[in-house]
Amino acid sequence: MEEKKVKLRIYGMTCDDCVRTISSSLKKQPGVLDVKISLQEGTGEVKIEPAGLSPEGILKNQVFSKGSHYKATLVE
Amino acid sequence: MSEEIKHFDLVILGHGAAAFSAGIKASELSSGEMSIAMIGTGPLGGTCVNVGCVPSKYLLEASHRVFRPKHPKMEGIYETNVVHDFSAVMKGLRSYVKQARESKYVDVMRSYENVALYEGLARFTDRKTVEISDPKGKKIGKVSGSNILIATGSRPSIPNIDGLNDAGFLTSDTIWGIDELPSSIAIVGGGAIGLEIGQALLHFGSSVTVIEALDSLLPQTEPEIGSAIRALLEKEGMKFYMKARVSSVHKSSKNKIVEVITHKGRERVEVDEILVATGRLPNTDTLNLDAAGIKTDPRGQVLTERSMKTTSPGIYAAGDCVSKRLFLETLAAREGVIAVSNMFGEDLRIDYDSSTWAVFTYPQIAGVGMTENEFSRKNGSCSCRTFPLSNLTKASIIGETEGLIKITVDPKDNRVVGMHIMAPNATDIITEGAYAVQNGYKINDIIATSHIFPSMSEGIKNAAQSFIRDLSMMSCCME
């Protein structure tokens, strides 16, 4: 199975609870294989299965949607 | 120069309307966390506030206040000569521009600590990195961005006319520095910029000659409007050479001589000053776009999708440097917001079809959507009605009957697909057309909506009613 690492810049994280909320939501997204988030750097690394999820698709996760104070952009 | 590359979440090339709009939206979405570099030269705010909409509207408004009292249109109101000082008007204009720039751009920028301003020209070295040079070409730094927005705007295009540079000329960038009214001026180009500045100078007392390459004015609008505004401006004293071009320019002892080629042959126009208003060029030629894989159209305007994405991943474009048909500050700002929103994973698209545009002559001209010809060419047929302001009560009362409202609908369902207006306040009432086109309203929706009597906006309702009945058979305020 092909894998791809996508780096995110994540805005709005202030504590470990934020990290858990975002990680948990991303891990439930179809096509996501693994998630690592750095609160200190405000970044995330998401391992995806490109056949099932595009990098842009990660940004459409519920946790980054309108109304949420967490936002993200692609770094790579 | 330090070889260190400073990294930002977002690098914006340019610091005009599109750049500010994008920078502010990005700051809002990231709650001020997004690190942004904004790189540009010249005064903050770009074309619109410094050398575009703001000074031109100031000059036009001042000129109308001189001209209109001399030309009263109601019985019993007599000609009044307005005492004025052109030099003081221009001083007031420059002061207003400075104040608008300070309050709308310089002070606003101070509120965003996440934005770093770089004074210089940007040049791509690869898809993620740009090199910054000062105006003299000295390299002053390098920055990289996870996302990049190109919003470098445009500048006046100067045609290659023999002798023009030696004789000297003004453009829409430089005319705001004059203190003395030119006694006569030749305007090369009869587009929006040429007509607006031309009418302003005419109203102050200049003798104005417009030289236009096409055989009609303002081809983006309905031909009836192009003809009507030309007739009105000619009545006010503006001279036109249509389907004409300038072959050369030279200086005499006192004046500038413009050699014009028309279908009748060669003619000489002797003037005090020349204004070149032959369109604008995108500021993309020094960006080294190839290094980033960004494609442009033949004019050098950046190709984008409606999402404002360029041909290179992670790089967006907005504003006057983008390949499109309409070049407006409002559109630039919207494109900036769309570009940034899409960087955050949204799926927004720019809607050019319901974008309003305007020419601020008096009367004003404004439009939205397609003209009759555009819709017919695309769909084979259309349905349209033209309502002259001479039939509108408010226009008759104030004596401002030189104008019209034209609505084009899709004959399949009577959906409004275009509205074009020539009226004193066309720029205000065109918004009704924008609602209609954007939301797919039909003629009956406009008719069923309450309009004030007597008002200029009632003309839109009358134009809509002319699809269903003969207006000469209609009483006042008929529903």
pLDDT for the residue numbered B470: 84
For residue B55, give both structure tokens. 């000074």
pLDDT for the residue numbered B137: 87
- Residue numbers in A near B9 (CB within 8 A): 9, 73
How big is the A-B interface in CB pairs under 8 Å? 40
pLDDT for the residue numbered B136: 85
The whole-number mean pLDDT for each consecutive block of 10 residues of chain B, a chain of 479 residues, reads 86 97 97 97 94 97 97 95 97 98 94 96 97 91 97 97 97 98 98 97 98 94 96 98 97 95 94 97 97 98 98 97 93 97 97 94 97 94 93 96 97 96 98 97 97 96 94 79
Task: Establish if A37 belongs to a structural domain.
Answer: yes
| Any A CB within 8 A of B339 CB | no
CATH code, A20: 3.30.70.100
The secondary structure of A7-59, three-state, reads EEEEECCCCHHHHHHHHHHHHCCCCEEEEEEECCCCEEEEEECCCCCCHHHHH
The answer to whether the Cβ–Cβ distance between A12 and B343 falls below 8 Å is no
Closest CA to B51 of B180, B174, B202: B174
Give how far B351 is from chain A: nearest CA, Å: 21
Task: Establish if A18 belongs to a structural domain.
Answer: yes
CA dist B345 and B331 (Å) reads 21
Contact B191, B166 (CB under 8 A): no
The answer to whether the Cβ–Cβ distance between B345 and A56 falls below 8 Å is yes
At residue B182's C-alpha, the angle toward residues B162 and B357, to 5°, is: 80
* ipTM rounded to 2 decimals: 0.93
Report the side by side order of strands in the sheet with A43-48.
Answer: A32-38, A43-48, A4-11, A71-74
Q: Which domain holds residue A67?
A: 7-45+54-74
Task: Establish if A40 belongs to a structural domain.
Answer: yes
Q: Which helix (H) or strand (E) holds B124?
A: strand B121-124
pLDDT for the residue numbered B474: 80
Task: Establish if A29 belongs to a structural domain.
Answer: yes
Task: Establish if A2 belongs to a structural domain.
Answer: no
pLDDT for the residue numbered A1: 77
Give how far A62 is from chain B: nearest CA, Å: 11
pLDDT for the residue numbered B53: 95
For chain A, how many structural domains are there in total? 1
Closest CA to B115 of B140, B149, B138: B149
pLDDT truncated to tens, each residue of chain A (76 aa)? 799 999 999 999 999 999 999 999 999 999 999 999 999 999 999 999 999 999 999 999 999 998 899 999 999 6
- Residue numbers in A near B146 (CB within 8 A): 9, 73-76
Domains of chain B (ranges; CATH) run 5-156+281-343 (3.50.50.60), 164-278 (3.50.50.60), 363-473 (3.30.390.30)
pLDDT for the residue numbered B2: 58
